[in-house]
Structure 1
């Protein structure tokens, strides 16, 4: 028997009870807990206590914690500010999108644990994807290429930021000790002396500046590649 698809977005939203609690309040409170303590700390009981309500009262709005996480993930997509396609060129829009998605993920690092773990079927996700779709149409892409190009940019941003967040977390976050990191890397990657030498030459750089340079380089390469593909297609 196949498993039936279930999502909080296929569930009919319920009106607020007399106490005044609503879905938006629940999501905002969940984000505050996640920002302060991470995904492992979030529970329906803790969320209920923060809102001054029993955990059981939250189930009026969401069937379980997974549905809550779907709502929270859609809240994250809503934080990614992206202009309307008719307000800027497609490259400007995608550059803005890339940097704002990057900034949102760094501001809420727990969100990287939800992406890929829960479906993005909420209104904010669809609104964002539609803006990207229209930007690629403006650029000259058509058919399935619109979505493949959009996915390429999305995957680049996630592929850059998610490993960096994981690495930074593993080595002490904002309190990372460069000397300590080098020592650990010497132990873990001793079979790769050339790579270690490269790492030692770069570890003294300002970490935020180095990450920004790396991200900018890659995003420009992705956009240049997409533009080159368009030019080739239009010559055929």
Structure 2
């Protein structure tokens, strides 16, 4: 049985524009606009061609298929990340900025949550981001494979916290009665004493979005504490 061949838009040289004003960058910008407005389900070569006032078939000069288009768009959003120079600040500060920035990028482009783990992160922006994270952990004192493990740990935390948040925003959003939802949760939790205690201790005047920010920072600090502890072992 022949093994499946790995392909990526980043493994070949970009083709030159076929007409004045048309470029891969222009196509990517239009793709991002469509994705941000309509999500993955709303993206098609036909819609993109209409947005660019070009035939859908002409787009195949630049990309072989829709998957390659998504690769380009996925890498473009990582260019929005704040990436401090690791040698100019403490490694924990660098890691914290990178983690918060990664979360905000995913929240701004919720469609990207469905591409994590599915689309190769081989583009220049994704590679630059990963390289800077690795430098931060190397500067901290991690060596060998521990640099990669620390990198993967931080990334997994950001993804694990943010992807469910995106799913919640997409399915429920902010158009719900918060007090009614809290009462529903209380009814569902009846009989579970520990949960009822936690619900009673919650500050119901607190903005849920603020609570998410605080919760993310709590977990992030805990992850960084754990990584820092490993440096002393």
Tell whether the 8 Å contact from 1:178 to 1:203 is kept in structure 2 after alignment.
no
Tell whether the 8 Å contact from 1:76 to 1:104 is kept in structure 2 after alignment.
yes
- The residue correspondences of 1:164-175 to structure 2 (distance < 5 A) are 164-171=165-172, 173-175=173-175
Tell whether the 8 Å contact from 1:29 to 1:50 is kept in structure 2 after alignment.
yes
Q: CA deviation at 1:185?
A: 4.3
Match of 1:218 in 2: 219
Distance 1:60-1:85 versus aligned 2 partners, 3 A rule? same
- Deviations for 1:77-131, whole angstroms, at most 9, x for unmatched residues? 1111111112211111111101111111111111111111211111111111110
Distance 1:188-1:116 versus aligned 2 partners, 3 A rule? farther
Q: Gaps spanning 5+ residues in structure 2: where?
A: none
Is 1:143 aligned with 2:157?
no
Distance 1:40-1:147 versus aligned 2 partners, 3 A rule? same
- Deviations for 1:137-157, whole angstroms, at most 9, x for unmatched residues? 100000000000011111111
Q: CA deviation at 1:229?
A: 0.6
Tell whether the 8 Å contact from 1:178 to 1:204 is kept in structure 2 after alignment.
no
Distance 1:47-1:199 versus aligned 2 partners, 3 A rule? farther
Which deviates more from structure 2 when the two are superposed, residues 186-195 or residues 215-224?
186-195
Match of 2:117 in 1: 116
Distance of 1:188 and 1:62 partners within structure 2: 50
TM-score (ref. length: structure 1)? 0.90
Match of 1:45 in 2: 46
Distance of 1:63 and 1:190 partners within structure 2: 55
Distance 1:54-1:185 versus aligned 2 partners, 3 A rule? farther
- Deviations for 1:198-224, whole angstroms, at most 9, x for unmatched residues? 347355420111011101101100111
Tell whether the 8 Å contact from 1:185 to 1:196 is kept in structure 2 after alignment.
no
RMSD: 1.9
Match of 2:163 in 1: 162
Distance of 1:11 and 1:65 partners within structure 2: 16
Distance 1:199-1:66 versus aligned 2 partners, 3 A rule? farther
Match of 2:131 in 1: 130
Distance of 1:38 and 1:188 partners within structure 2: 33
Distance of 1:192 and 1:50 partners within structure 2: 53
TM-score (ref. length: structure 2)? 0.92
Tell whether the 8 Å contact from 2:75 to 2:125 is kept in structure 1 after alignment.
yes
Tell whether the 8 Å contact from 2:49 to 2:59 is kept in structure 1 after alignment.
yes
- Deviations for 1:155-186, whole angstroms, at most 9, x for unmatched residues? 11111111112123222x12232134346646
Distance of 2:124 and 2:86 partners within structure 1: 18
Q: CA deviation at 1:36?
A: 1.1
Distance 1:59-1:87 versus aligned 2 partners, 3 A rule? same
Distance of 2:191 and 2:32 partners within structure 1: 42
Distance of 1:58 and 1:216 partners within structure 2: 42
- The residue correspondences of 1:9-158 to structure 2 (distance < 5 A) are 9-158=10-159
Which deviates more from structure 2 when the two are superposed, residues 175-184 or residues 209-218?
175-184
